[in-house]
Amino acid sequence: MSSAGESNAATVRVALPYHLRNLAKVEGDVLLEVAAPVTIRAVLDALEARYPMLRGTIREYETGQRRAFLRFFVCEEDWSLESPDKALPDAVAAGKEPLLILGAIAGG
């Protein structure tokens, strides 16, 4: 699978879980301008800059690590344990596929 290039800013789609959509007061996917290279870190940086009410809800404040009960999926693959600096697939950088953020199933 090829990866996002090093050049222009991309419009990236992010699919948030229900409670975070409510918190950000958005419906449907969020569209973000993200400078290349498009990585999970870059997408989350852009997400938190545009929607500061989400700071700390996806990544821990102190460590910047993914919160334990959240997972990231990209193009039907689990990216939860990938490096946050790994370039995302071109389909994400092109806005064709979203970065999917999900709450892990860990209770009700």
Partner 1 sequence: MSSVRVLVGTHKGAFVLNSDGRRKDWTVSGPFFAGWEIYHMKGSLVDPNRIYVSQTSGWFGQLIQRSDDGGKTWHQPGLPNEAIPAPGPPTALPNRFAYDTSPETGKPLTTHQWYDGTQHPWEFKRVWHIEPSLTDAETVYAGVEDAALFRSTDGGENWHELSGLRGHGTGPKWQPGAGGMGLHTIILDPTDPKRIYIAISAAGAFRTNDGGATWKPINKGLRSEFIPDPNAEVGHCVHHVAMHRSRPDVLFMQKHWDVMRTDDAGENWREVSGNLPTDFGFAIDVHAHEPETLYVVPIKSDSEHYPLDGKLRVYRSRTGGNEWEELAKGLPEKDCYVNVLRDAMAVDTLDDCGIYFGTTGGQVYGSADGGDSWAPIVRDLPAVLSVEVQTLN
Residue 78-107 contact track with partner 1, rule CB under 8 A, x = bound: -------------------------xx-xx
* Helices H / strands E in the chain, number of each: 3, 5
Q: Which stretch binds partner 1 (CB under 8 A): 7-15, 22-30, 34-42, 91-99?
A: 22-30
Residues of span 30-49 touching partner 1 by CB under 8 A: 49
Nearest to 17, CA basis, from 69, 88, 52:
69
- CA 28-33-38 angle, 5° bins: 105
- Fill in the amino acid letter for 80: S
Q: Contact, 10 vs 34, CB < 8 A?
A: yes
Question: Least distance from C-beta 100 to partner 1, angstroms?
Answer: 15
Interface positions with partner 1 (CB under 8 A): 17-20, 22-23, 25, 49-50, 52-53, 55-58, 60-62, 67, 69-70, 103-104, 106-107
